[in-house]
Amino acid sequence: MRLRSALASSVVAVLLASAATLVLIAKRVSAEQSAYAAQGGAPCAPPTLNRSDVLSGTGLAVSPLPDSYDASPYTQISLLGSPASAITDVRVSGSATGTHSGRLEAYSQGDGASFVPSRPFLPGETVTVHGTVKVRTHEQPFAFRFAIAHRDPVDYAAAVTASVPRDYNEMQHFHSQAATFEPPVMAVTAHSEGTSPGDVFMAPYAGPGPSGPAIFEEDGNLVWFHPLPKGTEATDLQVQKLDGQTVLTWWQGRIPPQGFGQGEEIIENTSYQEIGRVHAGNGYLADLHEFHITPQDTALLTVFQPIACNLSSVGGQSGDAVTDGIFQEIDLMTGLVRREWTSLDHVGLSESYSSATSSSTIWPFDYFHLNSIDQLASGRTLISARNTSALYELDTFTGQVLTHIGGKHSTVKLSPGAATAYQHDAQMLPNGEISVFDNGGVPKVHAQSRGLVIAVDAQTNTDTVVAEYDHSSPSLLSGSQGDVQALEDGNVFIGWGAWPYFSEYSASGGLLYDSHLHGSYESYRSFRFSWTGSPAEPPSIAAAPEGAHTVVYASWNGDTRTATWRVLAGASATQLTPVASAERDGFETTIAAPAQEPYVAVQALDSEGAVIGTSSTIAG
């Protein structure tokens, strides 16, 4: 695996940089508050929307976007499209802060570099960039400028999810695990032949027990749970590939009431060992909605950043704030930002179905709400925005919106039933069709949420429904979250978001599988993946005397290979012999040892009878 020490070093560097950035932010909040109040409103969108990020005559795609108003004070200047060796004489100057020294750092992919300033810019100032790039046989000068946004000064990171009353029966409890190990109970209500192989992946939160990524067998038995500290949530647990190796990824952090995430992306190997943490660049915190690892050792992630904005043109106030929907492509080897796309530069405020009339600096106008990114091999990128009820196809390199699917200004004709409302998780399927989770509310537009597959005919410029899947018992209308996963065998797996239900359908639409979590839990997305877990930690054991016997409890959090448990017992901790065995029975197996012995341990055996793990030895 090529993460090796390079990524480890870059992760440490990014962590240190992020810590330094947060200190700088804290010191400057009061100054920004004063400036924000004094200015009485700020422009946040450029005069010309949806311009290309490619500088004429250079082949360089740059960010921040030229002539934009929403750059971070801690931004890099990303220059993508030519080797770092071809980019020279980069000079950066702020209209208030003057000349900025810095370093030109190459991307590990060999196709560009970021100029990393040695100090931040000042909110409200204009930054001018000059440089030279070699184009074929000549040196081509370039120049562009952008403005630094005033961040909305509300301390969103201080907000935490409201506590939920604890219900003992909503959580599972195991003798062999710590008392704080309390995963939710998953109830299976439908299970037919024909389901796809694999386990159910989710990240339950907002319930009475701890949040954290979790894997369940389809019969409801737990495979793995990683409880997180109170106030830290997790979303979007997935199986992905990194350098050809299978990895687990998820987002974790805080979810303030404003409906976005502030955190980081976690990468673990199949032994549940952390091999990396990926952070957003440019002084931002990673949002919960999307994280994709690409074959080029890059990662796509979302950022929600509220900034000052004059919203009087859409019914708000001049001193309000708007939430900018951002996605970044991060070089995993260096932590550099290869590209940054922002909604305010490409999609107008008036396209939103949300209202700015009640917005404020505490509740910014969440006009876009970016919730999925699918970067395609065709050179296009498909994204979904909840609050414009639209999907957008972008030119990946220029960043320009090429196609609007739905919303107020759809560029394709929508056939009956094809319009989505407040949708999530748009993905391009191998045959060119698009799957999407159509929430249908809130506010209520459709009678219930549905999984949807649509096809856009380029010749007729028409969007038609190919398939739809709903949950009839009970009928579900999910006001937030949700996803649709097209499985390799043609089945479709759906996570119902705000309603903690998980369903699988055949290609013809028949319900094959249905399960749910009890009570108040939510899971932003859920998936089915084939998975083999081999924990680095040993199995866990607990034991208690019961008459003339010892009852032994054995579990191994995350292991998928154990077929049989064997109990070892003896008069001393160093002299143990087999005394009992039992087939694995769910997450925790109960085994009755025939006689009490002072010391016991358990061994995990695979399907061929080989010992694959041994617990610690405890007093019987």
- Mean pLDDT confidence for 460-466: 97
CA angle 294, 451, 533 (to 5 degrees): 45
In what helix (H) or strand (E) does residue 18 lie, and over which residues does it extend? helix 4-39
- Mean pLDDT confidence for 35-44: 62
Higher pLDDT, 40 or 315: 315
Higher pLDDT, 162 or 84: 84
- Mean pLDDT confidence for 278-283: 98
pLDDT digits (tens, 9 = 90+) for 406-458: 999 999 999 999 999 999 999 999 999 999 999 999 999 999 999 999 999 99
List phi, psi (to 5°) of 19.
Answer: -60, -45
Give domain limits for the chain: 4-147, 156-529, 540-619
- C-alpha–C-alpha distance, residues 164 and 521, integer Å: 9
pLDDT digits (tens, 9 = 90+) for 328-382: 999 999 999 999 999 999 999 999 999 999 999 999 999 999 999 999 999 999 9
Q: What is the pLDDT of residue 547?
A: 84
Do residues 505 and 492 lie in contact, with contact meaning Cβ atoms separated by under 8 Å?
yes
Q: 548: pLDDT confidence band, cut at 50, 70 and 90?
A: confident
Q: What is the pLDDT of residue 154?
A: 64
Q: What is the pLDDT of residue 611?
A: 98
Residue 30 has pLDDT above 60, yes or no: no
Q: What is the pLDDT of residue 546?
A: 87
Q: What is the pLDDT of residue 610?
A: 98
Residue 213 has pLDDT above 90, yes or no: yes
Q: What is the pLDDT of residue 519?
A: 75
- Classify each residue of 400-417 as buried b or exposed e, where b means 16 or more C-beta atoms within 10 Å of its C-beta: bbebbbbbeebbbebeee
Paired tokens of 314:
């859409």
pLDDT digits (tens, 9 = 90+) for 471-501: 999 999 999 999 999 999 999 999 999 999 9
Q: 187: pLDDT confidence band, cut at 50, 70 and 90?
A: very high
Secondary structure (DSSP) of 472-510: BTTB---SS--EEEE-TTS-EEEE-TTS-EEEEE-TTS-
Q: Alpha carbon of 183 to those of 168, 493, 519: distances in Å?
A: 11, 22, 13
Q: 156: pLDDT confidence band, cut at 50, 70 and 90?
A: low
Paired tokens of 7:
């990524």
Q: 155: pLDDT confidence band, cut at 50, 70 and 90?
A: low
Look at the pTM and tell me if it is higher than 0.85: yes
CA 358: distance to chain centroid?
A: 29
Higher pLDDT, 57 or 161: 57
Q: Are β-strands 462-470 and 413-414 bridged in parallel, bridged antiparallel, or unpaired? A: parallel
Higher pLDDT, 101 or 41: 101
- C-alpha–C-alpha distance, residues 620 and 617, integer Å: 9
Q: Indicate the fold that domain 4-147 takes in CATH.
A: Immunoglobulin-like (2.60.40)
Q: Does domain 540-619 have CATH number 1.10.10.10?
A: no
Residue 147 has pLDDT above 60, yes or no: yes
pLDDT digits (tens, 9 = 90+) for 217-264: 999 999 999 999 999 999 999 999 999 999 999 999 999 989 999 999
Residue 557 has pLDDT above 60, yes or no: yes
Residue 104 has pLDDT above 70, yes or no: yes
At the second CATH level, the architecture of 156-529 is 6 Propeller (2.120)
Examine domains 4-147 and 540-619 and report if their fold is the same: yes
Q: What is the pLDDT of residue 15?
A: 35
